[in-house]
Amino acid sequence: MLGSADAISQWSGAREPWRPVTRWAVAAWLVFYLGFLAYAFRMHGEFLFIDSANLVVHEGGHMLFGWFGHTLEILGGTILQWLVPLLLAGYFFKERHAAAFVFCMFFFFENWLYTATYMADARAMALPLVTTGDPDLVEHDWNTIFSNLGLLRFDTVIAGIVRLMGWFGMLASVAWLAWRGRSTPQA
């Protein structure tokens, strides 16, 4: 088993040192992230400007995963919306680009806020829905998912947990970058 862990560690580049990020660059990124966090907090679950990009990826996920049946079509929006920044983070992790890795992880977790807002609307179905197909056949993803799983009455509880995990993930990403900045020599 240890051999597999070593192979994964070697393949992922986890043993390689991170490329240096100057302290001024870390400081600039931290200002950006703290500003975005303040903006997101102030919006209280409302649509953020970055969510326009998230929406495009989400809708693309329905089209991509629709080839594999109705269930994956419904799940595909969120799957692709979370997968794109996560795969990009994986790439930058392998390449040891700390600032780019954190950017992708930060927005991976920011997507959880967007998803949580959609989840919390599963019973109320008050949010305007977007579709790339026939508007008469539009479905609320999370109403369908939670209904099929018998979890519809827990939509706001699940959304609250997802939202909290998103906030923790964004804060952890920023904290890790700040920690990396402290261990980087001045440039």
Could you please report the per-residue DSSP string of the chain? -HHHHHHHHHHHTTTSPPPP--HHHHHHHHHHHHHHHHHHHHHTTSPPTTHHHHHHHHHHHHHHHGGG-HHHHHHHHHHHHHHHHHHHHHHHHHHT-HHHHHHHHHHHHHHHHHHHHHHHTTTT--SPP--SS-GGG---HHHHHHHHHT-GGGHHHHHHHHHHHHHHHHHHHHHHHHHHHHTSPP-
For 72-96, what is the mean pLDDT?
Answer: 96
pLDDT at site 174? 98
- CA-closest candidate to residue 160, choices 112, 111, 125: 112
Q: Are 144 and 129 in contact (CB under 8 A)?
A: no
- Per-residue pLDDT tens digits for 115-156: 999 999 999 999 888 877 777 778 899 999 999 999 999 999
Structure confidence by residue, pLDDT tens digits, 37-71? 999 999 987 878 888 899 999 999 999 999 999 99
Segments making up each domain of the chain, as ranges: 52-182
Closest among 174, 181, 54 to 112, alpha carbons compared:
54
pTM metric for this prediction: 0.89
The burial class, CB within 10 Å (0-12 / 13-18 / 19+), for 149 is: exposed
pLDDT at 2: 60
Tens of pLDDT, residues 5-25? 777 777 777 789 999 999 999
* 23 in Cβ contact with 184 (< 8 Å): yes
Rounded Cα distance, 13 and 95, in Å:
7
Q: What are phi and psi of 147, to 5 degrees?
A: -65, -45
